[in-house]
Amino acid sequence: MSFQSMQSGEKTKRRSMGDFFGGYFKRFPSILTANLFFAAPLAVSGAVVWGLSFLFPLNIFIQLLPIPLCAPFFAGVVQVTRDMIAGKKEKAVPTFFKGLKNNWRQFLLHGVIFYLAILLDYFSIVFYYAAAATNPLFYVLFGLCLFILLFLLFMFFYVPVITVTLELPMRYVYKDAALMAVWELPSNFLSVLCLLALTAVVSTLFMLSGNYTANWIIAAVLLVAVLPATVCYIVHFFVYPKVDKMLIQKDKPRENDETRQKMQETIKESLQKDPAFKEALQEKANQDDAYVFHNGRMIKRAKLEEYYRNEHDV
């Protein structure tokens, strides 16, 4: 099984599941490092949920609190796995903290937005499903809510990786993510398929243990050592090449044209303000040609031209 991919500055090539597993196990220490750093805020958010459960009835508002609480630190995990997929051989620790330092504010906002969006969609699904028992037409709205939930999932495949890759205003991050959530459906569904396979593997481990305490230990070990960065790696393996192709490579010609245009405008203004600038510019343009190789040695072009001019006159 192979997949179409685009790497920065390279021609389009096909990648296989061998590339997927090879890259994962080759850089597994980076996966482990990113997970270990992310485990601390994850444990704190879990403790917050556990503590609030003694004060309030455990509900969806409390259960989803780890999303905004851990979101700033998730930037480090995204940075590490994005660099893995991009082929960068950076060390995991400085890469994690670079992602955290540069993007924690944006990721905090992403976490709050995702938290509120999931809450709104959850209550809509529950309401319309209950209402459909009395009026089947509500199944249409129920299905629409499920579609919106899937769209949100696809969109947030792209929001984190676009944030750490490009310096864009928030509205453009979400606009690009929304467009790619729709137009890159094959990559999105492949990501979901692999995430389902990962879920099946984890569920199998729980079933094989057959013990409540053992399941808690397995869950803790997986959360601390493997799962967050592995989920990121799976998603980025499929979506980052699309981000690179559509948002990075596509903008390079435009950036070069803008730079060239600004340079031409600057030269034009300088020529208008200072006529002597033309002579300096001409001298700089001819600087590389000031000397030429002739008869085994370097000679000034002007002297060589003068010599041949005199020879011609004679």
Low pLDDT (below 50) residues in the chain: 5-12, 288
Per-residue pLDDT at 2: 53
Instruction: Return the pLDDT at 8.
Output: 41
3-state SS, one letter per residue, for 168-212? CCHHHHHHHHHHHHHHCHHHHHHHHHHHHHHHHHHHHHHHHHCCH
pLDDT on residue 210:
78
Question: Which candidate, 134, 132, 135, places its Cα nearest to that of 145?
Answer: 132
pLDDT of residue 6: 43
pLDDT of amino acid 271: 54
Instruction: Please report the pLDDT score of residue 12 as a whole number.
Output: 46
Which tens digit of pLDDT belongs to each residue from 270-302?
556 666 655 655 655 555 455 555 555 555 666
Q: Return the pLDDT at 260.
A: 58
Structure confidence at residue 9 (pLDDT): 41
Domains of the chain: which residue ranges? 2-257, 274-313
The pLDDT tens digits of the residues spanning 20-51 come to 899 899 999 999 999 999 999 999 999 999 99
* Cα atoms in the 13 Å half-sphere on the side-chain side of 272: 6
